[in-house]
Amino acid sequence: MRRRSTLLFTIFALIVSMFACTPEELTPSQLVDGEFARIQSLIPTEFSSDLLLPQAEEDFIVTYRKGGTMLSDRILEHRSFEEDVLVSLVVTIWYDDTKTSYQIDLWERANDGTVEPPDPDPDPDVLTFQGLLDYLNETIPDPIVSNVTLPTNWHDVYLTYTQTCGDIVRGRLVYSFPTTNQTCQLTYTATLDGQTNSLSIQRTISSVNALPRLPRIDIVTVNNATIDSKDEYVDATITVTTYDGIPYPEVSDDTIQIRRRGNSTFWMPKHSYKIKFDEQTRLLSHYAERDWVLLANFTDQSLIRNALAFSLSDRMRMRFSPSVTFVDVYLNGEYQGNYLLTDEIEVTGDRIDIEENVPDIDTGYLIEYDFTQYGYGLGNTGDNYFLIDGIPFVVHSPDHTDDHYRPEHLTYIADYMNDLFTILENKEDYTDMIDEASFIDWFIINEVFKNVDSGYSSIFFYKHKGGKLYMGPVWDFDLSTGNPGHLQADLRVPEGWYTNRGDKNILFYHLMQYPEFQTALKERWNEIYEPILLPTLDEVWMYADSITWSQYQNFQRWDIIGKNEEWYTAPEILALTTFNEQVWFLYDYLDVRLEWLNDAINELP
């Protein structure tokens, strides 16, 4: 989350700097920052009654959250407190495909307005049990609609809990999926100034039917036709229902075409899909495109590995990161499960923004390093590809079926990649060939997740007209972080290098032989380790808790946890019998992985 000062000088300076540019010269990030500056200037630093928060300007969408809960109708409610309370408001602003969150701190004044603001970091000598009670009442949500992380430390005061409503596992209250609302009594024990007290707070545990819902996507095929091909589309209609009040454009009975997608995942019971609109459409997004993807994540029993990796790419500011929107999908009236709605990897102004559809040889290129082409039989595939040292590279753009395509396009990009391989093999200077920063960021993300496909498939590169080769976007992380059963046991553990092994991604095997690449990797890692990489652990809970109803229904539909003994299921994953255990496994894996990588990268010369 990006924090912004509440100082008016900061706002003034930002606005002045923006007026120095015309709107056409501003980047989407600058436009979002400018909209935040406007909104921040309209929000008072304190309030003593219900506060109506500013509405977004045209072309922007803004949401407000307090304590993780979205505010309805932009109203920040004032509650009756005996003392002033510091409120942290999270403001999220969208402009096209750019989304940024900011934090604003403001005082919620006591009813009479006479109480001095409390010290946000009080002296432990003046801590009180009443202050602890107020803190817990503010921190622990009511009602409880998911698992909840309970505070275990308050200004060095250690807290323990008992409860009447479910299990507490490693400091997390486990939501119990009751059929009716239940009252939960949480009793915490703390020692303060030598005195031990046990005090209780009550919370409502929401019934399953009262849980927040993800957006619902209903797809109905013409004549209820089955979708059984990854090449031929089926005609259908699509309707989207949202429950959270975010003002997305209506999608109702829109005409689409739909087909199955995936390589090994194509044959799995829960299918992934590609959908194509007749015209560019905003599908739970802030930009319009024709093509969208619904990822089933069947092999990932946490359901969130792809979301975490895509989000990390976005927070690292890679030039394009696939979007993350969890949805529930119904096909011809039958529930299909939890899906990740995201982008097609393609060339457009909102996705991979490079030149295409021109006959020039030096134009934009999008290519994919993809060993799955051997599975189709290289002589049978319709894709445009070339080989380097036995590695198939598929050329997605220029499209060889396009009217602008010329055979010289394939020759040009194949020669470019061959030159790059030769330079790396000979330990020559590569700086004129690749954008090193994008290669490093891609490498970091795939190493953090120890992604099994980082040397096999779904490895994308793009090149601007007259420019260097960039790495990205990231893609396909369902078989990562200890999940892939077809990977040998010593490679599934969270320790050890992976992508740069000689039998994995040969490009990074060569790049890691360069001292200058190692130095740049170390500098980038240390720049982002604390502010960007470590928060990935918090995002595990954020994503897992946000899909409580959906994951429950998904695994009612697909009863596979602890039972799906397939080639892609690691024994460690098969041994886990609940969704919560799946999420804890992922959390612990990333925790150990990040620590190991931090040590290993900082030990590089």
Closest CA to 485 of 572, 369, 556: 572
pLDDT above 90 coverage of the chain, percent: 68
Q: What is the pLDDT of residue 537?
A: 96
CA dist., res. 599 & res. 260, Å (int): 42
Average pLDDT (24-29) is 75
What is the domain partition of the chain in residue ranges?
A: 2-108, 124-210, 218-343, 365-602
pLDDT digits (tens, 9 = 90+) for 447-470: 999 999 999 999 999 999 999 999
CA dist., res. 364 & res. 346, Å (int): 12
* Domain 2-108 CATH (choose: 2.40.480, 2.60.40, 3.30.70, 1.20.120): 2.60.40
Contacts of residue 424, Cβ cutoff 8 Å, sequence gap at least 6: 430, 507, 510, 511
Q: What is the pLDDT of residue 220?
A: 98
pLDDT digits (tens, 9 = 90+) for 519-578: 999 999 999 999 999 999 999 999 999 999 999 999 999 999 999 999 999 999 999 999
pLDDT digits (tens, 9 = 90+) for 579-590: 999 999 999 999
CA dist., res. 511 & res. 532, Å (int): 24
Of the two residues 281 and 46, the one the predictor is more confident about is: 281
DSSP string, 306-348: HHHHHHHHHHTT-S-----EEEEEEETTEEEEEEEEEE-S-BS
Q: How would you classify the pairing of strands 2-3 and 61-66?
A: unpaired
pLDDT digits (tens, 9 = 90+) for 483-518: 999 999 999 999 999 999 999 999 999 999 999 999
Average pLDDT (64-70) is 71
CA distances from 49 to 43, 85, 99, 108, 142 (A): 13, 13, 30, 8, 21
Structure tokens at 321: 């990161």
Given a cut of 50, whether residue 112 has pLDDT beyond it is yes
The angle that helices 535-546 and 305-315 make with each other, rounded to 10 degrees, is 130
Q: What is the pLDDT of residue 24?
A: 56
Question: pTM for the whole thing?
Answer: 0.81
